[in-house]
Structure 1
Amino acid sequence: MKKKLVAGLLTGAMMAALLTGCAGSKSDKSSDAKESYTIGIEQFAEHGSLDNCREGFLQGLEEEGIKEGDNLKVETKNAAADMGTAGQISDSFVSDKVDLICAIATPSAQSAYNAAMDAGIPVIYTAVTDPVAAELASEDGTPAGEVTGTSDKLPVEEQLKMIREMLPQAKTIGIMYTTSEANSVSVIKEYEDLVGKYDFELVTKGITTTADVSLAADDLLSKVDCITNLTDNTVVASLPTILEKANDKKIPVFGSEIEQVKIGCLAAEGIDYISLGKQTGKMAAQVLKGEKKASELNFETITTPGFYVNNKVAENLGITVPTDLSDNAVEAFDEITQSK
């Protein structure tokens, strides 16, 4: 009997210790464990504005406690402005079962959402000019599904007003755009509606691939007094070629954001793509943490543009920047930097 009692006591003690150990392990795991995430970043093309979006996106996540190399693994892939490649990238991220896809630029956003919509993987996009035209959102801004993000919609009227002030004698504005990019088609329509208000005639030139840019630029430059740039990914990726041709003819090119002004556009009423990316990263953090579903977040925009100017370009073209514009510039550059 005594032996049985001792054995029983030992068994009880062992059980108590075991239960205590289990409880302690559970508590330690709860307090010490760090949630980790894997995301895929699909960037449609390599150029300054989209690179800045990517950089800002990671900064936005980090500000919300999600840091690459700590609790975040990032796969970054670039489609090199090719829709076929974009589709392959989207499919690979879905196959890898990433927690979230960040899609940078309209074609990548459309590709990623099409691939991820049935897999339950949320897509957070940035640098999408018109999410409604891209069929990523409805007219009231609500997402088409588990997809949301930020728009880089151009301040078209502010751009036209600025161009008229800088070029009081100009009559024609040229725009090159990719006919298959929904964002560009949407902005062209807005320009068509507004150019008359500022006494301009609009001349457009559609392209389908990067290979079309050189000849299209020659044709467009023979017909216009200046060119204004969209957020068209294929065109922006070939901007150095366009700038070289325009400079030879002393025709000013207006950009859509700071990086384009740095590398040789005369000026822009544009947005800060680092800030846009940060805004996107904070939205993605809400989704990753489970605070919101992508379908519960309407897309967002940066509403206040800034004026950027390159004084060296102005000097080369013999253009005087009006004082009211130069005095209110967010940034002014005195040299032309090499494109990335």
Structure 2
Amino acid sequence: DLLPVSEQLQLIRALQPDAKTIGILYTTSEPNSVSAVAEYEAKAGDYGFTIDAVGVTAQAEVPQAADTLLSRKVDCFSNLTDNNVVGVLAAVLEKTNEAGVPVYGSEIEQVKLGCVASAGIDYVQLGRQTGAMAAKVIRGEAACADIPFETIASYSNYVNSDALDGMGITLPADIAQSAVEVDTAA
């Protein structure tokens, strides 16, 4: 479930053309989060952003870390697939919504929970891709060792119109044409 970082940065730039700093909360012991932050930091300058990342070691630290980023006046948050942060996403969204700071998710479920948008992955699609790989093994068409590592090759722009409206963000027409509106009632 490798995140499409460049696409996420493009989306943030399109939705917040004047934004300068993206805040990221991450768990310092989750290698997926550490590598994602490094990729954000490496690519952010290409889109005119700086990254302000705050690491945590436990889920209980996430709300305070969110307060830290908010006090630093970040323009938005970009959420990762970080287990500790996602586990208390509702608390983060409560704080950011009150402060008027949008949060971009990394996958469709986070957008359903209240993030404004995401250039992200769909875990159902990921499951189908994984199932197809497993089926090759079960049918005897390939051994596990013979199947190459795969990541999701495609992503979608997911949007939550209610969350966008709440932040006063207008969805550009070119993004609206292909974006997937999430069902927040589900």
Q: How does 1:281-320 map to 2 (within 5 A)?
A: 281-320=131-170
Report the alpha carbon displacement of residue 290 of structure 1 after superposing the two structures with TM.
3.6
| Structure 2 residue matching 1:268: 3-state secondary structure | strand
Cα distance in 2 for residues equivalent to 1:271 and 1:255: 10
The gaps in structure 2 that reach 5 residues or longer are none
| Structure 2 residue matching 1:218: 3-state secondary structure | helix
Q: Report % sequence identity.
A: 52
Report the alpha carbon displacement of residue 282 of structure 1 after superposing the two structures with TM.
2.0
Q: Which residue of 2 aligns with 1:171?
A: 20
Cα distance in 2 for residues equivalent to 1:230 and 1:248: 21
Cα distance in 1 for residues equivalent to 2:90 and 2:140: 43
Amino acid at match of 2:161: N
CA offsets 1:265-306 (integer angstroms, 9 cap, x no match): 000001221011111122223333443221111111221211
Match of 1:213 among 58, 62, 70: 62
Match of 1:187 among 29, 36, 40: 36
Cα distance in 2 for residues equivalent to 1:253 and 1:171: 14
| Structure 2 residue matching 1:173: 3-state secondary structure | strand
CA offsets 1:9-68 (integer angstroms, 9 cap, x no match): xxxxxxxxxxxxxxxxxxxxxxxxxxxxxxxxxxxxxxxxxxxxxxxxxxxxxxxxxxxx
| Structure 1 residue matching 2:84: 3-state secondary structure | helix
Cα distance in 2 for residues equivalent to 1:171 and 1:158: 17
Cα distance in 1 for residues equivalent to 2:101 and 2:41: 21
C-alpha contact (below 8 Å) 1:161/1:198 kept by paired residues: yes
- TM normalised by structure 1 equals 0.52
The gaps in structure 1 that reach 5 residues or longer are 1-151
CA offsets 1:80-102 (integer angstroms, 9 cap, x no match): xxxxxxxxxxxxxxxxxxxxxxx
CA offsets 1:159-208 (integer angstroms, 9 cap, x no match): 10110110011111000111111111111111111111111111001011
CA change 1:337–1:225 in 2 (3 A) is farther
Amino acid at match of 2:34: V
Amino acid at match of 1:231: T
Match of 2:177 among 327, 330, 333: 327
Report the alpha carbon displacement of residue 215 of structure 1 after superposing the two structures with TM.
0.8
Amino acid at match of 1:191: Y
Match of 2:122 among 268, 272, 277: 272
- TM normalised by structure 2 equals 0.94
Q: Which residue of 2 aligns with 1:232?
A: 82
CA offsets 1:237-277 (integer angstroms, 9 cap, x no match): 21111111100101000001111111100000012210111
Cα distance in 2 for residues equivalent to 1:159 and 1:325: 12
| Structure 2 residue matching 1:246: 3-state secondary structure | helix
Amino acid at match of 2:148: N
Amino acid at match of 1:318: G
Aligned length: 185
| Structure 1 residue matching 2:164: 3-state secondary structure | helix
| Structure 2 residue matching 1:303: 3-state secondary structure | coil
Structure possessing the higher radius of gyration over alpha carbons? 1
